[in-house]
Amino acid sequence: MISVVLAMLLTAPVQAERIKDLATIQGVRNNQLLGYGLVVGLDGSGDKVSSSPFTQQSLRSMLTQLGIVVPPNVNLNPKNVAAVTVHADLPPFSKPGQQIDVTVSSIGDAKSLRGGSLLMTPLKGIDGQVYAVAQGNLVVGGLSSEGADGSKVTINIPSSGRVPGGATVERSVPTPFGQDAMLTLNLKQSDFTTVQRVTEAINKTIGAGTAMAVDATSVKVNAPKNPGQRVGFVSMIENLQVDPADAIARVIVNSRTGTVVINSTVRVSPAAVSHGSLTVTISENPQVSQPNPLANGQTVVTPQSDVAVSESGSRMFVFDPGVTLDTVVRAVNQVGAGPSDLVAILEALKQAGALHADLVVI
């Protein structure tokens, strides 16, 4: 049987969704932060001097900042230290003093970060400003163990971990939420019909002229200038119920896993499909040629190949006009086609003009 994921049940009615699930407010978004730091306290699983010299340089620089002078002729062995990158997402409206989670990843040849602690690391935004400072003990879900004979066992990824609430916000990111006279709602998936329905729902609830559709993605909304009133206004709009438009008819095929996703709007025109498999079998049966005892000849091995071609019985099925997803899946299952065969059938239907959907192979 073919493993086909149904994007939507045909018998289920269209469910209304909240505007907050369909759209986002322009300018209200996460901001990415990035930093470079050191993880210390490792049990000999840190970076090596030979392949990660920057770890030794970072360790020497850190000790210098702490007032410890390391002689130039002294080589530090950072086997308990690992150079890492630290990244986090700064949520919108984050204020100084709040805490956010950070992810720590090794950039050297450290085998494991388990048991390590991240030292104070500034996290910068794209503008080069420091917006948070991270520090804390790592939570590592991976495990790595290696024997003296070279045997090794690794579970998950031990060279990456997280520090829950490990960064403290030091600077806020300004947002245009309270600056512009109008708010802009951007749909997560562009659709003219959905934009029109969102506009009608807002105007029906708040009043005519409150919302205006801009294009297939954006809706501009007149909002109160007072910050307190604006928050309540946005809260009311977010919870309005809207029936989103049907998605574009589309068939998604994952060529690597064999997964096929067909949404409920896919239709097939009248078509007849016959599918069969052709098998070619080649077997080698070498023959030995033995000369007569007094012929002074040599024994020769003569190759002989047997080629057999067999074709399994193909079955034909017919799609009637206006066939829906359920009929397509049932018909393809009846012929016993595998995932790769299903892709071939869908491609043939598309080329024949019988499949009214976008065929996307990923």
Locus of tokens 């066939």 = 323
How far is 42 from 81, CA to CA, in rounded Å? 6
How far is 159 from 45, CA to CA, in rounded Å? 10
Domains and CATH numbers, the chain: 17-27+176-242 (3.30.1360), 31-169 (no CATH), 250-361 (no CATH)
How far is 263 from 275, CA to CA, in rounded Å? 23
- Within 8 A by CB and 6+ apart from 337, the residues are 2, 275, 345
Q: What is the pLDDT of residue 251?
A: 79
* C-alpha dihedral (147, 149, 154, 158), degrees to nearest 10: 60
Lowest-pLDDT choice from 117-126, 191-200, 220-229, 336-345: 336-345
What is the residue-averaged pLDDT of the chain? 78
pTM exceeds 0.85: no
- Within 8 A by CB and 6+ apart from 130, the residues are 122, 123, 124, 170, 171
260-262 and 4-6: which strand pairing?
Answer: parallel
Query: Which tokens go with 275?
Result: 């599918």
Pinpoint the alpha helices (H) of the chain: 19-22, 53-65, 192-206, 227-238, 325-334, 339-351
How far is 278 from 285, CA to CA, in rounded Å? 23
Per-residue pLDDT tens digits for 42-56 = 888 888 877 778 888
Would you call 102 helix, strand, or coil by DSSP? strand
Q: What is the pLDDT of residue 341?
A: 67
DSSP 305: E
How far is 106 from 85, CA to CA, in rounded Å? 6
Q: What is the pLDDT of residue 8?
A: 39
250-253 and 358-361: which strand pairing?
Answer: parallel
How far is 235 from 221, CA to CA, in rounded Å? 13
Query: Which tokens go with 33?
Result: 């932060």
Per-residue pLDDT tens digits for 132-171 = 999 999 888 865 655 555 555 666 778 888 999 999 999 9
Query: What residue type is assigned to position 191 of the chain?
Result: D
Lowest-pLDDT choice from 103-112, 216-225, 245-254, 262-271: 262-271
